[in-house]
Amino acid sequence: MRRLDVLVLGAGAAGMMCAIEAGRRGRKVLIADHARAPGEKIRISGGGRCNFTNLHTAPDNFISGNPHFCKSALGRFTQHDFIALIESHGIAYHEKTLGQLFCDGASRQVIDMLTGEMRAAGVDLALATEFESVEPARDGFTIRLSSGTYTASSLVVATGGKSIPKMGATGLGYRIADQFGVPVSDTRPALVPLTFDEALRTRLKPLAGVSADAVVGCNGISFAEALLFTHRGISGPSILQVSSYWREGDEITLSLLPRTDLFEQLRQARTANGRQSVHNALSAHLPKRLAHILCDNAGVEGKIADRTDRDLKRLAQAVQDWRIKPTGSEGYRTAEVTLGGVDTTALHSRTMEAKAVPGLYFIGEVVDVTGWLGGYNFQWAWSSGWAAGQAV
């Protein structure tokens, strides 16, 4: 039986950050993962360029049963601390939009940075290693892995959520929480495309592949980003964002051309060229296929000269206040993150340690803290991993 100070389960973003910090503090650390490579989600993230943080990260960008919980960790290891680490490794990056920072090159650089830092901190990395069991021991935990049995004063659970099982997500963290009586709030896929029922899918089929800028709202929150119609429903950044707030039975509102006085524009089009069709006039502002569907939704068709102000107002409203009722989501197969998880009331916000189980820590996505799209989820992984790394 090998004796460790810290065993970190899961070599993803949060686990590696925690291992680095604990190693730097002189702890004897092993980080284990059943995958063959560390940081697989980092590798595929941000379309291969890893949106590693967001310049504007603030507690408001996170969803949690306790919105205050994330404040301590986010405040102690900030986006600027992570940016400083990236810069110290000479990794070039850029802001794409809305404060989202991406590598100029491949996301591999972020993984190499983290594994390099782990080596420098004397952390042992065990890949292709299965977790078998954990039991409380006199001064910590006895953990059985496929590579052997270990005792550790601290066990850090950094096994992520349930999203993308094909990439190694197992939900192990929730089972460990259950075993130790740490409560777990309901989980559901988030940052995920939404799907339509058969009737709406058939009706909107011509729109597959069409994208547009929009303000998309649901349950009192809205996001101004692109949306994209798919064969199964609707996607794009604005939809992924509201998917975290949407529940079965809810409508979403799509406001296309949100900053345009569309009624006025349509009136002007009628004066300038009354012989054109209404959908041609609308096509000056939106993709043709979308314009067709929206005219149809509003029941406003034919020559624009024949349409009254009331008709044009109705069309403008159909464009700027389009209500759609998705029936489901694409689920964990494509969800970027898992909403819910280890209940924050059971954890110390400064350290991520379970209040009732000294030495047991939960960090990253397994915790009920879920960020918006745009680099926030990695920042939570870095911040919560760092916080636990100071405490173990």
Does 12 sit near ligand FAD (CB under 6 A)? yes
Q: Which is nearer to ligand FAD, 9 or 194 (CB)?
A: 9
C-alpha to C-alpha distances, 160 to 124, 169, 192, 193, 381, nearest whole angstrom: 20, 7, 16, 20, 9
Smallest distance from ligand FAD to CB 238, Å: 16
Positions 89 through 148 that interact with ligand FAD (CB under 6 A): 131
Are 365 and 337 within 8 A, CB to CB?
yes
Which of 64, 154, 163, 235 contacts ligand FAD by CB under 6 A?
163
User: Which of helix, strand or coil describes residue 328?
Assistant: strand
Does 338 sit near ligand FAD (CB under 6 A)? no
Q: How big is the chain, counted in residues?
A: 392
Does 10 sit near ligand FAD (CB under 6 A)? yes
In angstroms, what is the C-alpha Rg of the chain?
25
Which of 34, 188, 270, 307 contacts ligand FAD by CB under 6 A?
34
Q: Which is nearer to ligand FAD, 353 or 365 (CB)?
A: 365
Which of 8, 103, 381, 388 contacts ligand FAD by CB under 6 A?
381
Smallest distance from ligand FAD to CB 198, Å: 28
Q: Which is nearer to ligand FAD, 67 or 299 (CB)?
A: 67
What are 23-27's contacts with CB under 8 Å, separation 24+? 23/118, 23/121, 23/122, 23/123, 24/121, 24/389, 25/389, 25/390, 27/392
Query: Of 333, 384, 28, 370, which is closest to residue 169 (Cα–Cα)?
Result: 333
Question: What DSSP assignment string belongs to 146-213?
Answer: TTEEEEEEEEEE----SS-GGGT---HHHHHHHHTT--EEEEEEES--EE--HHHHHHTGGGTT-EEE
Smallest distance from ligand FAD to CB 223, Å: 16
Per-residue mark of binding to ligand FAD, 347-376 (x: CB under 6 A): -----------------xx---------xx
By CB under 6 A, which span of 40-48, 236-244, 276-284, 291-299 interacts with ligand FAD?
40-48
Q: Which is nearer to ligand FAD, 45 or 195 (CB)?
A: 45
Rounded-to-integer distance, Cα 42 and Cα 106, Å: 10
Smallest distance from ligand FAD to CB 228, Å: 16
Q: By rule CB under 6 A, what count of residues binds ligand FAD?
A: 36
Q: Look up residue 62 and give its two tokens.
A: 């996170």
| Nearest-10 Cα torsion for 365, 371, 374, 379 | -60
Binding site for ligand FAD (CB under 6 A): 9-15, 33-35, 40-41, 44-46, 50-51, 131, 158-160, 163-164, 168-170, 172, 336-337, 364-365, 375-378, 381
